[in-house]
């Protein structure tokens, strides 16, 4: 096997070199900074040594991998490579200059791959006399643990190059997913739905960031809430990426960020790395905020009236409340002493109350789709009386399940964010950036979602996702909510979103 060159020996470059050496390839390291390649080799050796000490790698295998990592002092030291992977600073001109210089050094059959996460592979390749051998090979951090790599073909990348890079990724033990050269490629593109919609909800004053995080983590099953995630990655990284992808798609409304992040970044509220972001941190650990005054337990309502517009959801909620000893008002219209509970999907609490002819002062909405067993979300109308709001919170929290109370919002929190994620993924499939299977696999591995976004849509039902998006579009008049053609056609046909096309 020909050696593999890695240019750039920062955290990503070191990770790529480590997995390359462990897979049996000779890994030649070059960095423009004097001594950096040798330091990287020593760091890789230390990491492999730790793996051997923990029994995750046999000692002989570790020593052999270490021996295959070799620093070179000049770029010309990569002349024998069959593949060179670039992992330098995210600067288009710097990458173009590097690839142009490499062309004069390596053999004609040597492949050139960029690990860029946000720049155009086609634009990088344009600096080369033979752009057909240039492709994207985007690893995720930390490379040894994140077993996924995006293989991206630029406009002029030759098909045989992609096949060789797919084979290389598999030999590293990584899952290669093919993607077209579009802003954000596949994983970062698909990830636009989560944080941007959560920020939109926050900017509308629907709930504070802690509440949004609680709902999306506990009720929707995400490992981290969106604001916890922003603090982890740092706004100095996340905010420019959001802006870049939005601008590269010529201000696509689905990816529109809010001014909030730019303001917080300017204020130095970057997250863990600065000691304060959406949360406060000390020694890298989150500091618990002062305890909020506990909401007083309110007397349970004498009767609870539940909307029957969704009979299946009503039956679930009625069973839950009867198990807690509540008295259900079974009339078509509520008694004057009943708490009114509506179960909207593509409506807000206000619209649901008005359309049913209810007293909005004693009406609350419940998210019956997400979190009934883990975290219940109640939504008030602008005029819901505090005593009825508190009574509802006590009622739905009686079994020990936490309750979050939010202000009126079309689509609550979890349904609204999940459907936005699904819609973005549907449009990725519509544009043929990647196959439905690769979209879901890549997002699960790259972003840690418990389900792929298209599978999330299938779990809800394409028709239901479409109904909520059309409701949001009509309510706000904002094209960010326009449904993808992939979603609309499959909802009309009753076809799963994960079904590929020939």
Write down the catalytic residue from 115, 138, 174, 238: 138
pLDDT at 237: 87
| Cα-based distances in Å from 269 to 202, 257, 262, 323, 478 | 17, 17, 10, 46, 29
The answer to whether residues 446 and 187 touch, using CB atoms and an 8 Å cutoff, is yes
| Cα-based distances in Å from 492 to 466, 467, 479 | 10, 11, 21
List CB contacts of 78: < 8 A, sequence separation 6 or more.
3, 5, 7, 28, 30, 72, 84, 102, 105, 106
In sequence order, the β-bridge partners of residue 403 are 376
The answer to whether residues 6 and 19 touch, using CB atoms and an 8 Å cutoff, is no
Spans of the chain, pLDDT less than 50? none
Three-class DSSP category at 73: coil
What is the rounded distance in angstroms from the CA atom of residue 115 to the CA atom of residue 117?
A: 6
The answer to whether residues 431 and 439 touch, using CB atoms and an 8 Å cutoff, is no
Sequence-ordered strand ranges (E) for 312-469 = 328-329, 338-342, 363-366, 376-380, 403-406
CA angle, residues 332, 334, 340, in degrees to nearest 5: 115
Query: What is the tens place of the pLDDT at every residue in 284-328?
Result: 899 988 877 666 667 888 899 999 999 999 999 999 998 888 899
Active-site annotation holds for 208: no
pLDDT at 242: 93
Q: Are strands 363-366 and 338-342 parallel, antiparallel or unpaired?
A: parallel
pLDDT at 296: 67
- Look at residues 277, 180, 299, 152 and name the one whose alpha carbon lies nearest to residue 227: 277
Write down the catalytic residue from 117, 120, 307, 404: 117
> Which pair of tokens denotes residue 250?
């010529």
What is the rounded distance in angstroms from the CA atom of residue 186 to the CA atom of residue 118?
A: 11
Residue 38: other Cβ atoms inside 10 A: 14
Q: Are strands 83-86 and 175-180 parallel, antiparallel or unpaired?
A: unpaired
Active-site annotation holds for 387: no
Active-site annotation holds for 150: yes
Active-site annotation holds for 188: yes
Write down the catalytic residue from 188, 409, 423, 484: 188
Question: In degrees rounded to 5, what are phi and psi of residue 458?
Answer: -65, -35
Query: What is the tens place of the pLDDT at every residue in 74-118?
Result: 999 999 999 999 999 999 999 999 999 999 999 999 999 999 988
pLDDT at 294: 64
The answer to whether residues 131 and 125 touch, using CB atoms and an 8 Å cutoff, is yes
Three-class DSSP category at 30: strand
* Residue length of the chain: 502
Write down the catalytic residue from 86, 150, 197, 347: 150
Write out the DSSP string of 319-355.
Answer: HHHHHTTPPEE-SSS--TTEEEEE--SSS-HHHHHHH
């Amino acid at each position: 096997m020909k050696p593999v060159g890695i240019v750039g020996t920062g955290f990503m470059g070191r990770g790529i070199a480590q997995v390359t050496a462990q897979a049996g390839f000779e890994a030649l390291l070059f960095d423009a900074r004097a001594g950096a390649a040798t330091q990287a080799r020593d760091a890789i050796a230390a990491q492999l040594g730790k793996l051997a000490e923990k029994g995750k790698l046999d000692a002989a295998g570790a020593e052999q991998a270490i021996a295959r990592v070799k620093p070179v002092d000049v770029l010309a030291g990569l002349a024998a490579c069959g593949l060179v992977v670039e992992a330098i600073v995210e600067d288009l001109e710097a990458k173009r200059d590097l690839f142009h210089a490499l062309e004069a050094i390596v053999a004609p059959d040597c492949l050139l791959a960029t690990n860029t996460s946000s720049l155009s592979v086609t634009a990088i390749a344009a600096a080369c006399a033979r752009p057909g051998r240039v492709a994207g090979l985007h690893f995720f951090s930390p490379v040894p643990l994140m077993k996924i790599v995006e293989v991206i073909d630029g406009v002029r990348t030759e098909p045989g190059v992609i096949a060789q890079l797919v084979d290389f990724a598999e030999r590293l033990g990584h899952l290669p997913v093919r993607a077209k050269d579009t802003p954000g490629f596949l994983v970062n593109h698909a990830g636009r739905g989560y944080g941007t919609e959560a920020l939109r909800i926050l900017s509308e004053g629907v709930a504070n960031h802690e509440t949004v995080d609680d709902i999306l983590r506990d009720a929707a099953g995400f490992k981290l809430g969106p604001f916890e995630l922003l603090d982890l990655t740092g706004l100095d990284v996340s905010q420019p990426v959001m802006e870049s992808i939005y601008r590269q798609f010529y201000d696509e409304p689905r990816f529109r960020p809010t001014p909030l992040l730019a303001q917080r970044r300017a204020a130095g509220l970057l997250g863990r790395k600065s000691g304060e972001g959406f949360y406060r941190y000390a020694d890298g650990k989150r500091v618990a905020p002062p305890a909020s005054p506990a909401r007083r337990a309110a007397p349970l309502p004498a009767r609870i009236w539940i909307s029957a517009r969704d009979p299946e959801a009503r039956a679930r909620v009625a069973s839950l409340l009867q198990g807690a000893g509540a008295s259900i008002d079974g009339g078509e219209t509520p008694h004057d002493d009943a708490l009114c509970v509506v179960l909207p999907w593509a409506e807000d609490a206000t619209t649901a109350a008005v359309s049913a002819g209810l007293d909005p002062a004693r009406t609350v909405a419940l998210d019956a789709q997400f979190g009934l067993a883990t975290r219940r979300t109640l939504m008030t109308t602008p005029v819901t009386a505090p005593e009825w709001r508190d009574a509802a919170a006590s009622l739905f929290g009686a079994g020990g399940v936490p309750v979050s109370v939010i202000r009126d919002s079309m689509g609550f929190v979890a349904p609204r964010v999940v459907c936005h994620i699904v819609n973005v993924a549907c449009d990725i499939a519509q544009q043929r950036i990647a196959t439905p299977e690769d979209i879901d696999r890549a997002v699960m591995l790259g972003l840690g979602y418990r389900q792929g976004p298209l599978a999330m849509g299938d779990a809800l039902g394409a028709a239901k996702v479409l109904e909520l998006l059309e409701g949001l579009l009509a309510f706000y008049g904002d094209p960010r909510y326009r449904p993808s053609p992939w979603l609309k056609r499959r909802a009309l046909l009753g076809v799963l979103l994960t079904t590929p096309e020939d």
